[in-house]
Structure 1
């Protein structure tokens, strides 16, 4: 029963993150749009950490789940179930946004349902590097702050700010993914270049998440040793 609730939480959380975050991109005015989108993603993520975090960990991102899996904190079957829930939630959210832009009278300010893409402001190689680094930052913050019980009450702030910072850098370049599910949903309904380029926004964030899982123990272990020398 608890596992079913965890998967449901991930589905709902992924839906909310994509609906509000990508929805901000779709509806944001051109002036100040980057800041609006960054705040939308960051604030929703912050809220989700405190809302569903105690139940599912509030991954709502396949790259985060991969990082947690490689850290040995979730089983492979559990991770697969999380991934299915995350992609499903993001797809339903993208469908809702698609309905709003097609029949709800909402003007799509992005012209592409808030999907990720490269070519206009950054090339393929730059996009891969950007997404790996941005996702590395985000997943690293998630893994490190959630490993420190003494700072658990502030974990949501660090995670939310990290996601907002990633979007401040990446929105104007490739729309910022750092989350394969976030990229998948809009691309499915937008089609065209968004769908053809989707692989980049799945592979690069997963690589960034894996790199974060590899290096996170170096930071957390150092933190433990430092505390031990103070005693």
Structure 2
């Protein structure tokens, strides 16, 4: 098996776990966990995965993160393609399992942790503010990843820092957009739910990629 596909398998597994446990916590136990509990479900998933698949693929499990590393030329175009396809497939598999779990109870599947904005979602922010929020949250998340992984001396704590950063951007973002910062995590639930989630999902693809690109370019300029 080629090195690229080993990385792809690792990214598939990682994104599968992130979506199943993160979105699953929001969809099945959000009322009990609250925003803080959901935030830590996502963050702790990253902490665990970083130390398991980090040595294999870098534990991107997020097309926005891979995009930033591609911009920095730390990821080849071939690997970028493999990573994104694997992440999307892993996210869809995770959302699919979550859908099956909820559907097996006989309840209508109306919540898979999908992102959104507007009336009836969170505090009801506008489309423009949803775009701004997701760009900022992704910028902070990816900027942190680029910084902490730029020094090999941080390798022992990098997973913890990245996971806690994901948790704290969720603490703010959950009541605003549900917090995407990850196109794969957003697209998979939207595809299965359809309707409003699917019509709004472009925001949670475009904004994270813009935020990640800005983070990569900013970090490159500051490190010169």
Q: 1:172 aligns with which of 171, 175, 183?
A: 175
2:81 counterpart of 1:80: yes
Q: Deviation at 1:3?
A: 1.7
* Structure-1 separation of matches of 2:222 and 2:163: 20
TM-score (norm 1): 0.91
Q: Any residues of structure 2 matched to 1:102-181 within 5 Å, and which?
A: 102-104=103-105, 111-120=110-119, 121-181=124-184
**Dislocated runs of 4+, deviation >3 Å:** 104-108, 218-221
After superposing the two structures, state which structure 1 stretch, 148-157 or 23-32, moved more: 23-32
Q: What do the CA deviations read for 1:121-169 (whole angstroms, capped 9, x no partner)? A: 2110010000000000111111111111111111011100110011101
* Structure-1 separation of matches of 2:51 and 2:139: 22
2:192 counterpart of 1:189: yes
Q: Deviation at 1:220?
A: 4.0
Q: Deviation at 1:106?
A: 7.1
* Structure-1 separation of matches of 2:176 and 2:151: 33
Q: What do the CA deviations read for 1:159-181 (whole angstroms, capped 9, x no partner)? A: 00110011101111111100000
Task: Say what the alpha-carbon RMSD is for the aligned residues.
Answer: 1.5
* Structure-2 separation of matches of 1:164 and 1:193: 26
Unaligned runs of 5+ in 2: none
Please state whether the residue corresponding to 2:97 is helix, strand or coil.
helix
Q: 1:220 and 1:76, CA in 2 relative to 1: closer, same or farther beyond 3 A? A: same
Unaligned runs of 5+ in 1: 222-231
Point out the structure with max Rg over C-alpha.
1
Q: Deviation at 1:103?
A: 1.1
Structure 1 residue aligned with 2:102 = 101
